[in-house]
Structure formats: structure tokens, C-alpha cells
Amino acid sequence: MSVTRPNILNNATALQKYCDGVKRLKNEFTGPTTQDLGIDGPAQPVSTYDLFVIWHVNAMMTATPANGNPEGRNAAHRGPVFLPWHRFMLRQLELNLQRVLGDQDFGLPYWDWAADGEGSPEDQLNSPLWRDDGLGGSGDPITTGPFVFDPNDDSSFRVRIDTDSDGNLEQVNRGLARALGEDRAAPTLPNKTDTASALQSGPYDASPWTVSAAGFRNMVEGWPNGPAMHNRVHVWIGGDMSPASSPNDPVFFLNHCNVDRIWEAWMQAGSNGRVYLPDQSAPNSLKGHRINDELSSLISAPTTPADVLDSTAQYVYDSLNV
Amino acid sequence: MMNAKSEAIPTPESIAKYVKQNARKALKASAMMMHHEGGQEIVREDDYKGHHVVVKTMYHITVDGQDVTGHIMLTNQGQVQYHGLPNHSFDSTIDLVRALIDNFPEDFDKKKPAMVHGGMTNVKMGGSGKHSMHMAKKAAKSSSKTGTGPKKKPAAKSKGAAGRGKSK
């Protein structure tokens, strides 16, 4: 059965369920420990939510090709696999949220950041998303919203795993941090002109299949004239959205759900179709990014870019007006 | 149509099973990119008008005498990028290091030797960083605990950083 993924700012029920589900996953411990996952310090149980954080960091630290370069491509970013890998990750989160919410109709919401990006810089900071009844606002740590840290309440939301300045996973115990609009590299969000431009771009990807490539994937990831698009959203939010452990902020998944929606809109627009590049005849230096290569996985069976190209049997978006 | 196996409804048991199965492989793969003690050589290649171009660049970054060992990337357009701040792109390596100090103040406070530059203490006072006050407060609170050796990862800890929380 296909679920519908809604705009979180138009659907208070989806917002409430999303926050509730995230907190449940944050407090679910299925057995893996920090020791199992190679994280220094005493062996501590790792929550299901935090497994997503670790999965993202591990994929980012997996060089493709394995001997390093071209231009820092990794198993989830900076190359063709960026969109399918995150689609896979989002779907795993959605399945787990459905499970802990006991709601098979739950669809992961998206945040249409380009709509907010149409407003003034001040309006962007005042979006309902950042209010107390949204995801909370800025702060170090944040002091509003559903993810406020209370050191005296073990069940309150907290960051337990992050990455240090060298990119190493480490154990912490602190509140979530955001610095909305504070980074001079991204004082504003992307807007509808940016998304319209992305929809006009093509092909899906192209040689050299890196951050230097022409094509849709690189444009929506946000490297040309960057930080743009997806990258710009990370940098604009700042705080825990800045390092490799960015899934620590639940807004990570709302950002990527919108990126996935833009990809879906691109595939359904004009003559693009459900086309992915490179195909399997590409050289071994592109292993991990070819259409039938396994995507890096942690909490489920693996999949491939080919397997996720058409997700309409699993979910659709309430709108492809990106 | 998505892959039937990855679409299986997860259970706590299935999650534990897959993590056990996948963790070692993931750790092995990710270990290759993690550290560059003593510097990192970046090799860029290009083919132009029938000629093969190779450009090797050596980076050895230190802050207060301590190595920055994270993975640096250099694009063919000359932009500097870094896995520790994976969505940023910098015009210069100096800009990158400044952003690292802004985003991870506690890491650098912790690594800073107790006495540098002819007698200044490790308590950072002022500075142009947007979180300089936060950094100074943090350094003042923890100066007695600041170590001088190579970074050792502690047990679960509180953490301060530019926009990254510290709470106890």
C-alpha cells in the first residue's frame, strides 16, 4: 500500500506524529552497543534513531573509489548515489516510524524549504517550523519545541553520538543545537528559482561523477556555486546539522524528504523519466555508484539504485510542485 | 518497485541482526578515510588536449601545534572541502580551519597547549569568532582539565561548539 508524504507545515497531525515517532525511536534500544560500532568509550546501548546517525557517518567515511579521490566521492554523497542512498535511508526511517507509531498509513513529512526561502531573511527565521509548536528554534542547546534536553529526564531528547572536528564518532550527552541563519556562507534558504533551475537541469549525472559534474544530482546536492540547495539547508540551520552526524537533528529527514520530492518531480517532469546514471558498464572506480551496486546499509537488507528508482508503490507526495 | 528484502517491516530483532551483520563491513570501509596523521597528499588528475595532468598537493594543518587529521578534499576548481563539515565549501584552507574552530571550539580548546606564544594561557579571551564568548567561558571552566597530548576520545561527555550544545 502506498502512503502519502505530506507537507509538514500543512499537516499538524503529521508533525505531531513525526516528533512522537522520533522520540520513540530515540528511546528504543534493540541491542547494538557503541562498542559493536567501533565508538570509543564505555560500551553503551545505541538507540534505533542513533543508528541512523552512525549509518550516515559511516557511509560518508566510506571512500568510493576505495583508494580515495576522485574529489572525495563517498558511499552516500558527492556522487550519483546521493539521491538513491538517501531515498533508501528515508524509507527505512519511515518503516520504523510506522512500526513504533503502530500506524501503517504514516507518511514521512517533508519541509518545503524553497517555499520558506521565498520570504525575507527575517521571515525565514520566523517560519512556523521553528516555533515551539514546530521543531523548536535556535540555541546551544535549543530551549523550545519537542526536542528540548532535560538532564534530569532520561527520556528527553538528547544527542548521544556525534562527530568531532576530525570526523570521528564520539559519545556525548547533551542537547540539540541549531544556529539558524547564522553562518555567513548561507544567510538565506534556497528558493523557488533554485528549484525551478534544478528541474530544468540534466542529465541525471555526468562524468566525472563528482562535485564538479554537470547534471541534476550535483545541482540538487548543492555543490555548484555552493552551498546551494541541499547543502545550503544544512549550513543555514547550522549546529548539529553541520557535521557528518547531521541526522542528529530531526529536521535532517525533513530536508532530505524534500530533496527526494524534488528528485521525484524531476523524474516525472518532461522527458527525464526514471533514468539513473551511470549504468553497470561504468568502470570499477565508480563502484558503489553504478545502477546495480549495493547501497551502504546498516539496519536492513541492502538495496540498489535500480531498486529505488520507482517508489510509487510505497509512497507518493501530496504535491510535486517543488 | 523497491527491493522486497529492504522493504520488509523492521523489528527490533531484525535491526539487531542487520547491525551485527553490517557493522564490521561498514567500519572497515570507513576506516580508510578517517585519519591523516602527519599530513595528507591530495592527487588531482585531468586530461586536457591529449595530455594527462597530475597535481599533487600536500596538506599538513596544525592548530596550536596539534595536527588536524580529518579528510580534506580539493576539487578540480580549487575549492577546499572537509569531511568534518561535509556541506561546506571554502575558497581557502585558512577559511576551512577558521570554520572548524568556529564549529568545534571545545575540540580546539582541549587540544591547545597550556602555554603558547610566550606565556599566554589557554583561556581564549575575545576573538572574532561568533561564539568567542561561549568559547572563552568554556575554556575558563575547563582550563584545568585541558590536556596537551594527542586527542583521546573520552567517555560520554558534554560538548560545546558553534551551534553545538553543551549540557550536563
pLDDT tens per residue across span B4-57: 777 889 999 999 999 999 998 877 776 666 567 788 898 888 889 999 999 999
Contact (CB<8Å) B30/A58: yes
From the DSSP assignment, how many helices (H) and strands (E) are in chain A? 10, 6
Residuewise pLDDT in 10s, chain A (322 residues): 799 999 999 999 999 999 999 999 999 999 999 999 999 999 999 999 999 999 999 999 898 988 777 888 999 999 999 999 999 999 999 999 999 999 999 999 999 999 999 999 999 999 999 999 999 999 999 999 999 999 999 999 999 999 999 889 999 999 999 999 999 999 999 999 999 999 999 999 999 999 999 999 999 999 999 899 999 999 999 999 999 999 999 999 999 999 999 999 999 987 889 999 999 999 999 999 999 999 989 999 999 999 999 999 999 999 999 9
The whole-number pLDDT of residue B34 equals 58
**DSSP strand pairing (A3-5 vs A315-317):** parallel
Distance CA A309, CA A123 (A): 35
Has residue B155 got a pLDDT over 80?
Answer: no
Return the residue in B1, B6, B80 with the most chain A beta carbons within 10 A, the one to mutate for interface testing: B6
A91/B6 CB distance under 8 A:
yes
Tens digit of pLDDT for each residue in B19-34?
999 998 877 776 666 5
Q: Do A72 and B88 touch (CB under 8 A)?
A: no
CA distances from A149 to A46, A152, A174, B150 (A): 18, 9, 7, 31
Query: What pLDDT does residue A187 have?
Result: 97
> Are B29 and A66 a contacting pair at CB < 8 A?
yes
B80-82 and B72-74 as β-strands: parallel, antiparallel, unpaired?
A: antiparallel
Cα distance between residue A303 and residue A76, in whole Å: 13
Rounded Cα gap, residues A292 and A307, in angstroms: 8
Q: Which residue of B has its CA nearest to A29?
A: B12
**Distance between B96 CA and the closest CA of chain A, angstroms:** 11
pLDDT, residue B31, reads 66
Whether omega for the bond prior to residue A208 falls within 30 degrees of 0, making it cis, is yes
pLDDT of residue B120: 38
Q: What is the pLDDT of residue B138?
A: 35
| Chain A / chain B CB contacts < 8 angstroms | 285
Instruction: For residues A117 and A196, give the distance between their C-alpha atoms in angstroms, rounded to a whole number.
Output: 13
Short-list A1, A93, A101, CA closest to A52: A93
Which chain A residues are within 8 Å of B5, Cβ to Cβ? 300-303
Which chain B residues have a beta carbon less than 8 Å from that of A303?
Answer: 2-3, 5-6
Question: Does pLDDT of B73 surpass 60?
Answer: yes
Query: CA of A120 to nearest chain B CA: how many angstroms apart?
Result: 22
What pLDDT digit, counting tens, does each position of B89-141 carry?
999 999 999 999 999 998 898 877 765 444 333 333 333 232 332 333 333 33
- Asked if A66 lies within 8 A of B130 by C-beta distance, the reply is no
Q: A107-111, A131-135, B72-76, B145-149: lowest mean pLDDT where?
A: B145-149
How far is residue A174's CA from residue A228's CA, in Å, rounded to a whole number? 29
Q: In angstroms, what separates the C-alpha of A169 from chain B's closest C-alpha?
A: 9
In DSSP notation, A252-282 reads HHHHHHHHHHHHHHHHHSTT--S--SS-TTS
ipTM of the complex in this document: 0.94
> pLDDT band at B75, cuts 50/70/90?
confident
Strand, helix or coil for residue A128: helix
